[in-house]
Amino acid sequence: MSGNTAPIFSKAAHVEWDTGITLANTAKDGIGIVDTVFTADAINGSYLQKLTVRPRGTNVASVLRVFLNNGASNATASNNVLIAELSLPATTNSEVAALSGYEIPMNIALPAGYKVNVALGTAVAGGYAVSAFGGDY
């Protein structure tokens, strides 16, 4: 049996975000405190192009961990897998200088109902805004 030979494209843009990520989660298996930043379409799934990460003020250094979840409870470690990490330097809020943002290329097709969760390695004061850009099939 041959595979699909026709390209597939998104039918609708899909953008989600979380603007209040501040709490620490030292678990490396996706359990504990996580923030869901993208949930794939419940019927046909979705394509996730990228995540953008922006500091919201003064923060200590941390790491952002990105987990793929199969749509079930993230409290069960076998439902999650670590797929990316981003080192986050300490930031100082300023009214005259921009705080650097970051982009994590994802470029993955997600089955129906799958989620992308994020967590910080250390607690921060200002927090981070994480946006997800993709499309639904």
Token pair of 60, please? 């200590």
**pLDDT at res. 5:** 75
Q: Are 120 and 60 in contact (CB under 8 A)?
A: no
Rounded mean pLDDT for each run of 10 residues along the chain, 137 residues in total: 74 94 96 97 97 97 98 98 98 95 97 98 98 97
- Strands 128-136, 80-88: pairing is unpaired
